[in-house]
A and B are shown apart, each in its own frame.
Chain A
Amino acid sequence: MAAPLSAAKALPLLAYARISILCTTSGNRALHLTPGCCKNQAARIRVGKGDRPLTYEQAYHPHDIAHYKGWLSQHTSNLQGEEGAAERTVEDVFIRRFIFGTFHGCQANELVIKRRGNMLIVCALMLQKLPPQKFYFLIGYSESLLSHFYKCPVKLEIQTLQDKAVYKYL
Chain B
Amino acid sequence: MAAPMAYRRAVCSLARIFVGITKLGTKGLSACGGHRDCRITRSHVPLRWSTSFHTGAVFSSPSSIRVTDEPDTLFQKVSVLVKGHDRAVLDSYEFFATMAAKELGITLDKVFEPPKYIERLTLLKSVHIFKKHMVQYEMRTHYRCIELSRLTGSTAQVYLEYIQRNLPEGVAMEVSKIAMEKVPEHILEPLWKNQPTDRTGQ
User: Would you list 13 pairs from A and B whose C-beta atoms are within 8 A, ordered by A residue?
Assistant: A35-B130, A66-B85, A70-B86, A74-B170, A76-B171, A79-B84, A80-B83, A80-B139, A116-B169, A119-B49, A143-B49, A152-B47, A158-B52
- Whether B83 and A136, one on each chain, are in contact in the complex, defined by CB atoms closer than 8 angstroms, is no
A115-B169, A155-B49 given; 14 more Cβ-contact pairs under 8 Å: A35-B133, A37-B125, A40-B125, A76-B170, A79-B85, A79-B139, A114-B169, A136-B53, A139-B52, A140-B51, A153-B47, A155-B55, A156-B52, A158-B52
Is A78 at the interface (CB under 8 A from chain B)? yes
- Whether B49 and A79, one on each chain, are in contact in the complex, defined by CB atoms closer than 8 angstroms, is no
Give the residues in chain A near B141, CB-CB below 8 Å: 79-80
- Closest Cβ neighbor of B137 among chain A residues: A62
Is A47 at the interface (CB under 8 A from chain B)? no
- Closest Cβ neighbor of A154 among chain B residues: B49
Docked complex: A135-170 residues within 8 A CB-CB of B = 136, 139-140, 143-144, 147, 152-158
Q: Which residues of A contact B (CB under 8 A)?
A: 35, 37-38, 40, 66, 70-71, 74-76, 78-82, 114-119, 121, 136, 139-140, 143-144, 147, 152-158
Within 8 Å by CB of B169, from A35, A37, A38, A121, lies: A121
- Whether A153 and B51, one on each chain, are in contact in the complex, defined by CB atoms closer than 8 angstroms, is no
- Closest Cβ neighbor of A140 among chain B residues: B51
- Whether B133 and A153, one on each chain, are in contact in the complex, defined by CB atoms closer than 8 angstroms, is no
- The distance in angstroms between the C-alpha atoms of A116 and B161, with both chains bound, is 14
- Closest Cβ neighbor of B126 among chain A residues: A37
Give the residues in chain B near A35, CB-CB below 8 Å: 126, 130, 133
- Closest Cβ neighbor of B84 among chain A residues: A79
- The distance in angstroms between the C-alpha atoms of A79 and B150, with both chains bound, is 30
Q: A71-B85, A75-B170, A116-B169 are in contact. Are A37 and B130 (CB under 8 A)?
A: yes
